[in-house]
Amino acid sequence: MKTLHVVSLTLLYVLAVNAQINGPLECPQPAVQQDFDPTRYMGRWYEIMKIPSRFQFGECCQATYALSNGIVLVRNDELLANGTISSIEGTAKITDPSEPAKLQVSFFKGAPPSPYWVLATDYDNYALVYSCTDGWDLRHDAYAWIMSRDRTLPKETISELLAILKAINLHSFLFKKTDQRPELCSNMP
């Protein structure tokens, strides 16, 4: 019995450290940015904080967006621990013109796209992005990113964005700060 207890606690710890949110029931459906303007959103964004995921490992994370024939071209770059830069390119599409802040992003041919919802942005300083996918087992996987046009963001702004996420049960303790120090990130594209 004691062994079962230790194994159970160890599994819970591993799941907590792995961190993307795997919660019960359906994905929360938070409000998105009203009157979202995709053109103003284009350009480079630096990741300030995120809910850690199994597909993102590095620091100095940044995303660059460009519009091309109504499709958003996406390029994500990150600096890995071994000093190499990992990049991935994909596309994002607005699936419902009445809700342009709800995009579907795809990085792999044949794989289903994932939600990319812009919950809040002022276009010039900050953006709050949310993604959640309902699983086949009545659970969901949720992710979120706080991004900035610069490698830093005022603490007050971060607190305001975290409060938006707290309303859908994505609490601040789930987030990891991304290292964006200039001396570390100087070789990023």
Sheet strands (E) in 110-149: 114-121, 126-134, 139-148
- Asked whether the predicted pLDDT for residue 161 surpasses 50, the reply is yes
**Average pLDDT estimate for 29-48:** 97
How far apart (Å, rounded) are the C-alpha atoms in residues 69 and 52? 32
Predicted local confidence at residue 96, as pLDDT? 93
Tell me if residue 9 falls in helix, strand or coil: helix
Nearest to 58 by CA among 188, 158, 159: 188
**Average pLDDT estimate for 162-180:** 90
Q: Residue 169 sits in which domain range?
A: 2-24+32-185
Residue 134, domain CATH: 2.40.128.20
Task: Give the predicted TM-score (pTM) of the model.
Answer: 0.84
Instruction: State the sign of the Cα–Cα–Cα–Cα dihedral 99, 100, 101, 105.
Output: positive
Q: How many domains does the chain have?
A: 1
How far apart (Å, rounded) are the C-alpha atoms in residues 48 and 45? 9
Other CB atoms within 10 A of residue 84 CB: 11
pLDDT, greater one: 150 or 140? 150
Confidence band of 137 (pLDDT split at 50, 70, 90): low
Tell me if residue 7 falls in helix, strand or coil: helix
